[in-house]
């Protein structure tokens, strides 16, 4: 393989990979889930072969990249449209600390040991498990941490409202996703369909299908986002 052919292959590989990455969007870069990791490894391998493997023609290499990208975009559509499909492609977040208690079962399920958990907490500037109320291992491997209320820094909005604040639920909890009710979460919160309908009607929303996402806040109020918001 001549130097000119190597340069041509590398240039084509770079341009094709750049264009396909733009097509797949920022999610592939910012949120490395199981599926995104598999997709990135596959595309990287094909691109490397296209650049330096003379046994792989440029045409076949480009076709392989396009087909792989097509399957990636197809799975992304499944991920967006189907909650069940999303569980397959990305999995579910795992609560590894609940109400200040370490969930050993969740740690085993995620193959995470206590030292690794503490290291992830330190990366979030948390140096004591005693300060943690909730910790959730997200599908992209990042750890989300909710500090206990008495350990959180005071903000200006906190002044004068400590006596009136109340917490009904420990975490904001999803109850509607993509126009569909999460019955399991409603049941965990000891709420029902009638309560949800009543809260939506207060906001002049007549149907659950008109709501893209809704979650019950720790104080018991309902946050929601309508479908087809105008940007």
Last residue of a domain, one of 43, 67, 88: 88
Position 160 in a domain: no
Rounded CA gap, 62 and 11, in Å? 12
Position 53 in a domain: yes
pLDDT score of 34: 63
User: 44-69: per-residue pLDDT in tens?
Assistant: 888 888 887 888 888 888 888 888 88
Whether residues 46 and 121 share a domain: the answer is: no
Domain count across the chain: 3
Alpha carbon separation from 157 to 50, 133, 147, 153 (Å, rounded): 57, 21, 17, 11
Burial of 95 (0-12, 13-18, 19+ CB in 10 A): middle
Position 157 in a domain: no
Tokens 């990979």, residue located: 17
| Cα angle for residues 226, 195, 188 (degrees, 5° grid) | 95
Rounded CA gap, 213 and 175, in Å? 8
Last residue of a domain, one of 39, 72, 88: 88
Query: Which of 6-15, 81-90, 159-168 is predicted with the least confidence, judged by mean pLDDT?
Result: 159-168
CATH of residue 124: 3.30.240.20
Whether residues 45 and 9 share a domain: the answer is: yes
Split at pLDDT 50, 70, 90, the class of 231 is very low
Q: Read off the pLDDT of each residue in 162-167 and give the average, rounded to a whole number.
A: 54
> Residue 126 sits in which domain range?
94-152
Last residue of a domain, one of 88, 111, 138: 88
Look at residue 230 and tell me whether its pLDDT is greater than 60.
Answer: no
For residue 86, count other CB atoms closer than 10 A to its CB.
19
Position 159 in a domain: no
CB of 195 closer than 8 Å to CB of 206 = no
Position 207 in a domain: yes
Whether residues 11 and 74 share a domain: the answer is: yes
pLDDT score of 161: 55
Whether residues 10 and 82 share a domain: the answer is: yes
Average pLDDT of the residues of the chain? 79
pTM for this entry:
0.56
Whether residues 8 and 41 share a domain: the answer is: yes
Whether residues 81 and 8 share a domain: the answer is: yes
Whether residues 13 and 81 share a domain: the answer is: yes
Secondary structure element (H or E) that encloses residue 136, with its range: strand 132-137
Whether residues 81 and 26 share a domain: the answer is: yes
Position 191 in a domain: yes
At residue 164, the 3 state secondary structure works out as: coil
- 180 HSE (CA, 13 A, CB side): 7
At residue 60, the 3 state secondary structure works out as: helix
Position 158 in a domain: no
Backbone angles phi, psi at 84, to 5 degrees: -65, -40
Whether residues 215 and 192 share a domain: the answer is: yes
Query: Which of 108-117, 131-140, 165-174, 201-210 is predicted with the least confidence, judged by mean pLDDT?
Result: 165-174
User: 192-205: per-residue pLDDT in tens?
Assistant: 999 999 999 988 88
Whether residues 22 and 67 share a domain: the answer is: yes
Whether residues 77 and 99 share a domain: the answer is: no
Whether residues 98 and 81 share a domain: the answer is: no
Position 131 in a domain: yes
């Amino acid at each position: 393989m001549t130097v000119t052919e190597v340069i041509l292959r590398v240039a084509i590989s770079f341009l094709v990979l750049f264009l396909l990455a733009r097509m797949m969007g920022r999610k592939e870069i910012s949120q490395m889930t199981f599926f995104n990791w598999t997709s990135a490894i596959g595309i990287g391998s094909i691109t490397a072969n296209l650049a330096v493997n003379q046994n792989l023609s440029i045409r076949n290499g480009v076709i392989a990249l396009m087909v792989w990208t097509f399957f990636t975009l197809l799975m992304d559509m499944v991920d967006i449209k189907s909650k069940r499909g999303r569980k397959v492609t990305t999995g579910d977040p795992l609560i590894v600390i609940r109400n200040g208690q370490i969930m050993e079962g969740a740690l085993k399920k995620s193959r995470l040991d206590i030292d690794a958990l503490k290291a992830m907490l330190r990366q979030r500037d948390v140096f004591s498990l005693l300060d943690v109320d909730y910790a959730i291992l997200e599908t992209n491997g990042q750890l989300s941490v909710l500090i206990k209320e008495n350990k959180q820094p005071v903000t200006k909005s906190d002044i004068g409202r400590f006596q009136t604040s109340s917490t009904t639920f420990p975490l904001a909890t999803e109850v509607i996703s993509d126009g569909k009710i999460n019955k399991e979460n409603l049941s965990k919160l000891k709420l029902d369909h009638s309560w949800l309908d009543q809260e939506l009607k207060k906001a002049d929303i007549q149907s659950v299908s008109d709501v893209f996402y809704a979650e019950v806040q720790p104080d018991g109020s309902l946050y929601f986002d309508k479908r087809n918001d105008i940007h």
